Amino acid sequence: MKDYSEINELQLDALKEISNIGAGNAATSLSQMIGRPINMSVPRARIAPFSEIADYVGGADKVTAGGYLRVDGDMPMGMLFMIETEQAFYFLDILFGNAPGTSDSWTEMHCSAFKEIVNILSGSYLNALAVFTNNVYSPSVPAMAVDMTGAILGEVLQTVGEISDYALILENVFIEKEKEITGQLFLLPEPKTLESLLKALGVL
């Protein structure tokens, strides 16, 4: 496979399935962490040129908190968790046992807890993938940024940019029932990883 634009519908569906399994595991972990039920929307898989990708995630100028980590080993890829700042504070208030609305700025403790959430989400997602593909995944410690969506995506997509003009984004949305809180988790596989995933799914 030379470029993400070559992926067909059947393969996209298979990728959605795998991200559903991964994110299902992640949602369970998140739910245990904050002690509340977490639901998930049907995953979406998108292939788009770089110039359009920011529009798919709510616009390049929207301010979001992003937790990003790299996965090395057999299956190199990036993982990104994005959530609007106020929504992130809602999660964190629950986690800290505070009344919703308590947090209003990113203290060191907020950042650290946010990274921990990303850590747990990605860890459980990757565990599900590992069972499925029989590969070794070695995720890095997450890094975080609170800034424009476009700026966050630009850096995250840079590795993909070296090999493709298109980005493949597998997106899962987590929903906390009481307050329609949504966070998006993106899996950004490098082409080599994508091939392995498609082979494991029997669609390549």
Partner 1 sequence: MSKEIIKVGMAAFNIATAPASLVTIGLGSCVGVCLWDSAKKIGGLVHIMLPDSTQARNVTNKAKYADTGIALLVEEMIKKGTTSSRLTAKIAGGAQMFNFPGSTSVIRIGERNIEAVRMCLKRLNIRILAEEVGGSCGRTIEFFTVDGLLHIKTINQGEKTV
Give me the residues that bind partner 1 (CB under 8 A), please. Answer: 49-54, 59-61, 63, 66, 68, 70, 140-141, 143-158, 161-163, 165
Task: Give least dist CB 70 to partner 1, A.
Answer: 7
The answer to whether 70 and 188 have CB atoms below 8 angstroms apart is: no
Choice between 26 and 144, CB closer to partner 1: 144
| Phi, psi angle pair for 146, to nearest 5° | -115, 105
Q: Which is nearer to partner 1, 22 or 66 (CB)?
A: 66
- DSSP state string for 45-75: EEEEEHHHHHHHTT-TT-EEEEEEEEEEETS
CB of 106 to partner 1, least distance (A): 10
Element (H, E) at 40: strand 38-40
Closer residue to partner 1, CB minimum distance, 67 or 189? 67
Between 128 and 144, CB nearer to partner 1? 144
In contact, 30 and 24? CB cutoff 8 Å: no
Q: Nearest approach, Cβ of 156 to partner 1 (angstroms)? A: 8
| HSE-up of residue 144 (Cα within 13 Å, Cβ side) | 24
Query: How many helices (DSSP H) and strands (DSSP E) are in the chain?
Result: 7, 8
- Report the Cα–Cα distance between both ends of the chain, in Å, rounded: 10
Max intra-chain CA distance, the chain: 50
Residue 128 CB, shortest distance to partner 1, in Å, is 24
When the beta carbons of 111 and 175 are compared against partner 1, the nearer one is: 111
Residue 60: CB minimum distance to partner 1, A? 4
Question: How far is Cα of residue 117 from the mean position of the Cα atoms in its chain?
Answer: 12
CA pair distance 145, 138, nearest whole angstrom: 22
What's the closest the beta carbon of residue 141 comes to partner 1, in angstroms?
6
